[in-house]
Structure 1
Amino acid sequence: MAASVKPWSTARLANAINLDSGDALYILCGPGVQDRFVCADYRERSLETALWEHLRDSGFERVAFSRHGDPLYFMDEASAESAVPGGTASRAGRAAAGQSGPLGGGLPGGTASRAGRDAVGQSGPLGGGLSGSAASRAGVGQSGPLGGGLPARSAPPRRPPRMLDLSLVQTLNAFMRDTSVRSAVVILWTEDYLRHLQPAAHRELADYLGEWARSAASQRNVCVLVFAAPNLTDAIRKVVDVRDTDVLVSFLERQRVRRGRRSVGTVGLAERSEMARLVQVARLRHGLAVDWPNLDRLIAAMAARPGETVRNWHAALTRIASRGDALTGEILKAEQLIDGLPSGLSPWQELDKLVGMEPLRERLELFRAVAREPDGDSAGQAETLHLAFVGNPGTGKTTAARLVGEIYRDFGLLERGHLHAVRGSEIVAPYLGNTVAMTDAAVDNALDGVLFIDEAYAIANTREYGPEAINELVLRMEDERHRLAVIVAGYTEDMNMFLASNAGLISRFSRQNIIEFPDYTPEQLVEIAHGMLAERNLTISPELEPLLAEHIRRMYDRRNPKTWGNAREMRELASHLAARWALRTKRNRAEPLRPGDLPEEAA
């Protein structure tokens, strides 16, 4: 279920930032951490700025940022002043000028206060920072709602990268230990940060991280470690390569296998509402023309595009506007940004058009009834989102999985509702150490949508590393239960053995959520064949209709149950008929399909 979204946030940030885990260390990672965010107030923010707003709104009086190349800075004057005894702006300025030492002597030597620089008109980190009054949180480095949109930012002053020193690390620890001011320390791009620490500072920070990892958040202060890694497993692999990080690695490993509230947030990619705001900002700021009748379909296609960030979409929309083109499906397809537009039908209407989906439709009707209950148990409901589709190939399982994601989104159970499809063999590595990373990558790409694992039984068939993939999948299904639906699919017998291979796995797929996709009947296959021919704008002559039905029945009677492709067989038949028709008629649309267009064995 979606978290409450504040004006300065987005759904993907609200879902990721949750400091109620009980730990004083909190980890942020994910495919969206380095993205920009078009927030609910139509202002664009970096993760840094949005995180600062979240921490201030959560009651942290002092928020300190640190990263390699920018050792210590603040996004507001109150935080900068609280770093110095007496708390005056002049003392913050003196600290920026070079006074050193943790707390008692101001800010570390040679480290500039970001608030001090910004107060005189310079810009902040990542191109943002304070403009004008540093006390105005809503206006920090942002343009106005709608009319401003994605602002053009001036480049911040940069200093040559240098090693961070011991006094900086001691200052961060002093902030964490100071109980008189509720403090948050944010270390950005932690992998890079740790690699560039001087040896003495590195050892000191390792000790402090150990203390913070053992501390409870009830001691008021928190340290947020932001990793550029797309998932926690990748972050662990990068930290392992850095000296003196055993304590941090141990903490991260515990979080990876921890059940329930983890001190880890995964920032995903933009969902529909944020994408819609981006389009409006591009329209008002850059004059982007919009195909209004198809706007909802365009936004749905944009949000479903795998791996595309708001940064990339902003660049693409700006490029389209600069050429004077409108935002249309044809333009986005020409730019290779989408494969095509959705049909325009609701997912329920699309499901109604599919043959043989009655069992799935009945199950989803129960979901709809629960979703409409104002006092429904959302935690229990999330447990039921996972489905198993069992049956032979060609019975519509992949199409059904896509529609399930869109229906869940319409229910408010998932933010994006997109489909990320993989085969079971694609999340099991052929050698030691990569299986967890591959499984995590699949889950991260599916967050806020559906992970569809076709031929899922292949995971269990890989005896050496298959159990590792299943264990990681079960862990992520638990940790991301409000942001992820997993649909596993495959042959009935093989899937029954797969689900029974792990107690945690079978417990997440209730019997009611195992949906049988039986082979299509001959009558259903005839209906599917007619539909495929209609999609090609081909008509069937009256004399062909009974012969086509008889040919399909003979195909069905002669089928090998282990290799029969159901709708795939009809697709091949439709392609054959279309090719014979084209050769005979020179593509004369006025000429219908005739008995001579059937395969020769049907004669």
Structure 2
Amino acid sequence: MTAIPRGERFRDLRLSTDEPFTVLYGPGVDDVFVDPDYGVRALEETLWGLLRSEGYRRIVFSSLSRPLYFRDPESRRLSRPGWERAEPDGRGGAAENGPATGKGGSTAGGTGAAPATGRMRRLRGPLGTVRLPTEPGTGPGSADAATAAPARPSSAVADPFAVMTHLGLLRRPEPRTAVVYTQAEEILLHNQASRQLAAALADRAQDRLGHNRWIFVFRASTLEGVERTVADRRVYPALAAFLRAELDHPGRGGAFRIGYPDEAELGRLVQHLRLRDRLRIGDWRELAPLLRSFADRPRRASAWREDLRRLAADGTPLERRAALDRGLVTAVTTDGESPWTRLDAMPGLAPVKRHLRLLANRIEAERALPARRDAATQHLVFSGNPGTGKTTVARLVGEIYRDLGLLRRGHLVEADASALVAGFVGQTAERTNALVDRALDGVLFLDEAYALHDQREGFGREAVTALLARMENDRGRLVVVLAGYPERMREFIASDPGLDRRIRAWIDFPDYDPATLHTILLGMLADRRIHPAPETGELLSQVVTGLRRVAGEGFGNAGTMRLLADDLFDTWAGRVQRQVHLPLLPADLPERYRAHLPRPVPTTGELLAELDHLVGLRDVREFLTGLTERLAMRQARGLPDTTAPHLLFLGPPGTGKTTVARLVGRICHTLGLLHTDEVVEVTRADLVGRYQGHTAVRTREVVRSALDKVLFIDEAYSLASGTDQDDFGQEAVDTLLREMMENPGRLVVIAAGYPLEMRRFLDANSGLRSRFGQTLHFDHYPTADLVEILRRQAATERYLLSDGAAQRAAAWFDARRAASPRDFGNARAVAGLLREMETRLARRLGPDGWDGAVGEPITFLGEDVPPAR
């Protein structure tokens, strides 16, 4: 019998180590395997061939129903008592125990096993006088394991005797022996000699005769599952300790996962079925991409074989269309283009492409060096907003690394934090390892990886620990791509030094520019068979530019274009109905996107009409008039960098700073400089946190909420007024400046406060003065202006001001200002006076006086104004 050649799934299996046991597990243990000689075999037969090629002469198998059986006559002969005295040609022991087996392990006469018991006075040893059964129809000569005749169960060997025999054979230094438990879970659970088996395992663990091998085959998909099965049994502490050691120190060689077939093995399966089952190939040019698509799916070869056999039985050729129609794949690249060609064809992403080429060149240079080195880590971080191509590039990375020889399959497994984290201790590590097992020899793409920090009851930490261990121990078979928003990815990687050490490269995916987004949108419309009219194409370009301009963290990029394409399709379809040849017209643009179209430039008078309602503020009027005229002219001429400046408002309370800030917001919005006219009003309490790092987060969140708006910081000097070392106002100032620099044109910051104190604010960071392009002074209102403001506020509530009331109000303002010049509230004092005047008016008129004047104005008299004090 010849040894079976080693296939890809067993390339790293080590059957000669110093470990006392070998454990096989994973989804492939119940699979069939297509060897390099195109034979299709089950695990038992494949394992027999691998052991034989490693020099094992005696190979013993054990299952729950057959505690002791063989696949070849030599192993059976060498397991008989007295085999040492057998002749070289196999006579002796074999002849004494019955007829010799023929090809495939069956008896010469083909009638079954020899008698199970008998007396052999001359022979002594671990087997006593028991005759071993012969297993018919189980030899390795079969070309297809599935067609081999099933072995006849043997009930003659009891569990205690089988355990004693296994251990006895393993103890013997010659011949080289392997004992294989093909149904390890069932044997460990139902063995009727569990005490003897536990003792044998303990004895074997201490013996450590490395040239012999005790092999256990588990169906569990992860090593954690195997360890839990054994530990829960609480009967086999030696095996449980071995498994824990393998988990704690992977790479020792005692545990091996059998996974899914790769592209090469599936290619051999197709050829096997082509010759045996007459499977036809529709287009040979499509076969290679089809096989790559097959290999990307985590499926057993046995499942692929059944699907392909059905194709052959139906007379359907294997080709792209049939694979899609039968649900074998969801998408196939049939053009034969290399991953580099497809990467280059992706719009934009110039930094990403440049980085990947440099990385590939470096890897090729390292591999060309004569000195052999351990496998280097190839894990990556992809940081960027959604829709920037991270998942697509991760898939291409797998193919590129496969072509470079770094990965065998190069398939992509996508997941997020919820796929790793479970609800109780221990299960999270198992789920994480199961996911990694699926991705072995390919790429594990973990999106929004930082969400592991947010998982309940700390189980996210357990997932990170398990992931770090696999990133290190399987670095030669795995590429992990951690992806997410840039800022949060930086925080996540910095949270654990182990993460940073395992990252080969950090690749930033920038948001697409408007031109690239427009190209993506037109491509999506073309895929939907929609053709924009020429004027519509220009309109869509303007919409895309507007969408990109207001993009913040979380901008969907290609995803946003997909939503726009869907909305355009809906409105177009509603208009054309069955006349699908009609083009996309400007009228098909949904209303909610029209806000991003350029607006007609308003006249200066229209923009500044609201200033006519303000009292005083001459300097402010001049500045706003000049600003409006300049910005309107630049916009009308189509000049670039049309942005509104950041402003400093210096002056006491009640001088109109907040009112003017809101007016600035409306002007900038009308000119199209800001997406909304909203003003976000904050103070120190909204920006400063309670501990180190908290302030930066709060300030950043406030600024991000004010993008495309006006951010009005009242009493901004309070950020720089702290003297305590635990005061975090400086952190807020530094973060504010950084955000102003990183969001040009997306934000107008107006900082307001008393003139003297605001100097401290500007001194808090040397970059602040250059960021605020204009300073406006808001002086105290003169008394006449305060009386005018009072008159206007009263008029809005249907009150009139008599001359006597105006004179007494002026005296009241002068007295208040003199009593507390610094704290005088200006317009705020006007509002307070109006409330007091209403109270005195109500008391003077009584119910009968105001009841009949519901719709008529009421006049304030001098006596309605409180005395000055």
With the shorter chain as reference, the TM-score category is: 0.7 to 0.9
Find the counterpart in structure 2 of residue 166 from structure 1.
160
Would the alpha carbon gap of residues 161 and 464 (structure 1) be closer, same or farther in structure 2, given more than 3 Å must change?
farther
Query: SS state of the match for residue 290, structure 1?
Result: coil
Find the counterpart in structure 2 of residue 359 from structure 1.
351
1:327 aligns with 2:318: yes
Find the counterpart in structure 1 of residue 188 from structure 2.
194
| Post-superposition CA distance 1:290-327 (Å, at most 9, x none) | 12231112212211123x21111111111121122122
Query: SS state of the match for residue 74, structure 1?
Result: coil
Report the Cα offset of residue 558 of structure 1. 2.5
Question: What CA distance in whole angstroms lies between the structure 2 residues aligned with 1:425 and 1:485?
Answer: 20
Would the alpha carbon gap of residues 363 and 161 (structure 1) be closer, same or farther in structure 2, given more than 3 Å must change?
farther
The structure with more radius of gyration:
2
Would the alpha carbon gap of residues 377 and 545 (structure 1) be closer, same or farther in structure 2, given more than 3 Å must change?
farther
Would the alpha carbon gap of residues 514 and 479 (structure 1) be closer, same or farther in structure 2, given more than 3 Å must change?
same
Find the counterpart in structure 2 of residue 30 from structure 1.
26
Find the counterpart in structure 2 of residue 574 from structure 1.
565
Find the counterpart in structure 2 of residue 404 from structure 1.
397
Report the Cα offset of residue 12 of structure 1. 1.0
Question: What CA distance in whole angstroms lies between the structure 2 residues aligned with 1:109 and 1:234?
Answer: 40
2:279 counterpart letter in structure 1: L
Find the counterpart in structure 2 of residue 97 from structure 1.
115
Which residue of 521, 532, 546 maps to 1:529? Answer: 521
Comparing 385-394 with 267-276, greater Cα deviation is found at 385-394
Comparing 581-590 with 312-321, greater Cα deviation is found at 581-590
Query: SS state of the match for residue 327, structure 1?
Result: coil
Asked if the contact 1:27/1:224 (under 8 Å) is kept, the reply is yes
Report the Cα offset of residue 90 of structure 1. 2.1
Q: How is 1:416-495 mapped onto 2 (pairs within 5 angstroms)?
A: 416-462=409-455, 464-495=458-489
Which residue of 6, 9, 16 maps to 1:9? Answer: 6
Question: What CA distance in whole angstroms lies between the structure 2 residues aligned with 1:194 and 1:101?
Answer: 31
Find the counterpart in structure 1 of residue 762 from structure 2.
none
Question: What CA distance in whole angstroms lies between the structure 2 residues aligned with 1:486 and 1:195?
Answer: 37
Question: What CA distance in whole angstroms lies between the structure 2 residues aligned with 1:411 and 1:449?
Answer: 13
Find the counterpart in structure 1 of residue 806 from structure 2.
none
Query: SS state of the match for residue 167, structure 1?
Result: helix
- Give the RMSD, CA atoms, in angstroms: 2.6
Would the alpha carbon gap of residues 233 and 378 (structure 1) be closer, same or farther in structure 2, given more than 3 Å must change?
farther
Count of aligned positions: 563
Question: What CA distance in whole angstroms lies between the structure 1 residues aligned with 2:271 and 2:523?
Answer: 38
Asked if the contact 2:352/2:507 (under 8 Å) is kept, the reply is yes
| Post-superposition CA distance 1:65-108 (Å, at most 9, x none) | 11111111222222222212234322454895335999944747
1:413 aligns with 2:427: no
Find the counterpart in structure 2 of residue 348 from structure 1.
340
Query: SS state of the match for residue 464, structure 1?
Result: helix
1:65 aligns with 2:57: no
Find the counterpart in structure 2 of residue 127 from structure 1.
none
Comparing 383-392 with 36-45, greater Cα deviation is found at 383-392
1:170 counterpart letter in structure 2: M
Would the alpha carbon gap of residues 12 and 363 (structure 1) be closer, same or farther in structure 2, given more than 3 Å must change?
farther
Asked if the contact 1:28/1:224 (under 8 Å) is kept, the reply is yes
Find the counterpart in structure 2 of residue 78 from structure 1.
74
Comparing 246-255 with 85-94, greater Cα deviation is found at 85-94
Comparing 92-101 with 313-322, greater Cα deviation is found at 92-101
| Post-superposition CA distance 1:182-217 (Å, at most 9, x none) | 21111112111111211xx21122122223334445
1:287 counterpart letter in structure 2: R
Asked if the contact 2:385/2:485 (under 8 Å) is kept, the reply is yes
Find the counterpart in structure 2 of residue 600 from structure 1.
591
Report the Cα offset of residue 261 of structure 1. 2.9
Asked if the contact 1:71/1:111 (under 8 Å) is kept, the reply is no
Query: SS state of the match for residue 383, structure 1?
Result: coil
Which residue of 292, 296, 315 maps to 1:304? Answer: 296
Question: What CA distance in whole angstroms lies between the structure 2 residues aligned with 1:109 and 1:96?
Answer: 14
Report the Cα offset of residue 416 of structure 1. 1.4
Query: SS state of the match for residue 187, structure 2?
Result: helix
Find the counterpart in structure 2 of residue 207 from structure 1.
199
Which residue of 382, 385, 388 maps to 1:389? Answer: 382
Asked if the contact 1:164/1:196 (under 8 Å) is kept, the reply is no
Would the alpha carbon gap of residues 53 and 401 (structure 1) be closer, same or farther in structure 2, given more than 3 Å must change?
same
Question: What CA distance in whole angstroms lies between the structure 2 residues aligned with 1:394 and 1:597?
Answer: 25
Question: What CA distance in whole angstroms lies between the structure 2 residues aligned with 1:242 and 1:100?
Answer: 36
Asked if the contact 1:99/1:105 (under 8 Å) is kept, the reply is no
What residue ranges of structure 2 are gaps of 5+ in the alignment?
87-92, 100-112, 595-869
Asked if the contact 1:108/1:167 (under 8 Å) is kept, the reply is no
Question: What CA distance in whole angstroms lies between the structure 1 residues aligned with 2:131 and 2:191?
Answer: 15
1:490 counterpart letter in structure 2: G
Would the alpha carbon gap of residues 159 and 488 (structure 1) be closer, same or farther in structure 2, given more than 3 Å must change?
same
Would the alpha carbon gap of residues 532 and 544 (structure 1) be closer, same or farther in structure 2, given more than 3 Å must change?
same
Report the Cα offset of residue 112 of structure 1. 4.3
Question: What CA distance in whole angstroms lies between the structure 1 residues aligned with 2:517 and 2:21?
Answer: 57
Find the counterpart in structure 2 of residue 278 from structure 1.
269
Find the counterpart in structure 1 of residue 176 from structure 2.
182
Would the alpha carbon gap of residues 207 and 496 (structure 1) be closer, same or farther in structure 2, given more than 3 Å must change?
farther
Asked if the contact 1:384/1:509 (under 8 Å) is kept, the reply is yes
Question: What CA distance in whole angstroms lies between the structure 2 residues aligned with 1:507 and 1:111?
Answer: 60
1:184 counterpart letter in structure 2: A
User: Percent identity, aligned pairs only?
Assistant: 38
Asked if the contact 2:420/2:431 (under 8 Å) is kept, the reply is yes
Asked if the contact 2:399/2:410 (under 8 Å) is kept, the reply is yes
Report the Cα offset of residue 434 of structure 1. 1.0
Query: SS state of the match for residue 184, structure 1?
Result: strand
Would the alpha carbon gap of residues 310 and 260 (structure 1) be closer, same or farther in structure 2, given more than 3 Å must change?
closer
Asked if the contact 1:164/1:197 (under 8 Å) is kept, the reply is no
Query: SS state of the match for residue 543, structure 1?
Result: helix
1:537 counterpart letter in structure 2: R
Which residue of 493, 496, 500 maps to 2:494? Answer: 500
Would the alpha carbon gap of residues 492 and 74 (structure 1) be closer, same or farther in structure 2, given more than 3 Å must change?
same
Which residue of 284, 287, 290 maps to 1:295? Answer: 287
Report the Cα offset of residue 34 of structure 1. 0.9
What residue ranges of structure 1 are gaps of 5+ in the alignment?
1-5, 125-129, 131-139, 144-149
Report the Cα offset of residue 601 of structure 1. 3.7
Find the counterpart in structure 2 of residue 146 from structure 1.
none
Would the alpha carbon gap of residues 465 and 543 (structure 1) be closer, same or farther in structure 2, given more than 3 Å must change?
same
TM-score by length of 2: 0.61
Query: SS state of the match for residue 487, structure 1?
Result: strand
TM-score by length of 1: 0.87
Would the alpha carbon gap of residues 162 and 80 (structure 1) be closer, same or farther in structure 2, given more than 3 Å must change?
closer
1:45 aligns with 2:66: no
Comparing 51-60 with 359-368, greater Cα deviation is found at 359-368
Report the Cα offset of residue 366 of structure 1. 3.5
Question: What CA distance in whole angstroms lies between the structure 2 residues aligned with 1:378 and 1:494?
Answer: 37
Report the Cα offset of residue 480 of structure 1. 2.0
2:549 counterpart letter in structure 1: D
Comparing 230-239 with 240-249, greater Cα deviation is found at 240-249
